[in-house]
Amino acid sequence: MAGLTSSTIGRKYAMALSAMFLLIFLIMHLSVNLLSICSPSAFNAASEFMGYNPFIQFLMQPILGFAVVFHFVMGFVLELKNRSARPVKYAVNQGSANSTWMSRNMIISGLVVLAFLGLHLYDFWWHEINFKYIEANTPDNGRFWAELHDKFADPLRVVFYVISFVLLGLHLAHGFQSSFQSVGARHPKYTPVIKTLGTWYSILIPAGFIFIAVYHFLTQ
């Protein structure tokens, strides 16, 4: 691990691995949350499994927590290193001619997602910890859907969530293909396929989350 994070290439590699783990997490997270639209009872059953299964709780959740923190910390480290390596801005910075807005502003879209995560973890994760371990309530496995549905009664929260999902989409639009490049997956035949997959991923995943937030708001 120390070797991975002691050189710029190692850091980019480690950053890409954490990104790929989070890309997979987002697919799983969206799939479980989509159940809240199709069937409250299926969503309650899935949430009960995720919330009380020891493998998920004591192995996967800490790994996820580590990946999230690592990704943000390493993102800042790489940004600071980039800036100090280039104290004077390029004489010829033609903006969109050299790069996309998304690639130049990963730190901004990342910060919005970080702010979203702060509220989101307070809304759901902290609520769970409080329910289970601090208040030590007896398990009530029918509560998950109602808790989620109630959260989206507040229009301000829905607006903030939706804006964050749009920024998440912009972050993913560059991040998806960039993570493959950083692990050395470059090939004239496969790189265009990875780019197309990245475009679809960065549209469909945030659109799915937006749909869930808006659906629960409109069905209050």
Contact residues for ligand HEM, defined by CB under 6 A: 29, 33, 47, 50-51, 61, 64, 68, 113, 120-121, 124-125, 128, 148, 161, 168, 209, 212-213
Minimal distance in Å, beta carbon 116 to ligand HEM? 7
Compare residues 70 and 161 and give the one whose CB is closer to ligand HEM: 161
Token output for 210 = 């937006």
H helix intervals, the chain: 2-6, 8-38, 40-52, 54-55, 61-85, 101-104, 106-120, 127-129, 144-151, 155-182, 191-218
Output 33 or 177, the one with its CB closest to ligand HEM: 33
Provide, rounded to whole angstroms, the least separation between the CB of residue 176 and ligand HEM. 14
Question: Looking at beta carbons only, is 164 or 182 nearer to ligand HEM?
Answer: 164
Q: Least distance to ligand HEM from the beta carbon of 68, Å?
A: 6
Q: Which is nearer to ligand HEM, 26 or 78 (CB)?
A: 26
Please say which residue, 104 or 157, places its beta carbon nearer to ligand HEM.
157
Least distance in angstroms from the C-beta of 8 to ligand HEM: 26
In whole angstroms, what separates CA 15 from the centre of its chain? 14
Cβ 77 to ligand HEM shortest distance, Å: 20
How far, in Å, are 27, 31, 42, 43, 145 from residue 149 at the CA level?
A: 20, 16, 14, 11, 6
Is 199 in contact with 220 (CB distance < 8 Å)? Answer: no
Residues 171/205, Cβ–Cβ less than 8 Å: no
CA distance 58 to 130: 17
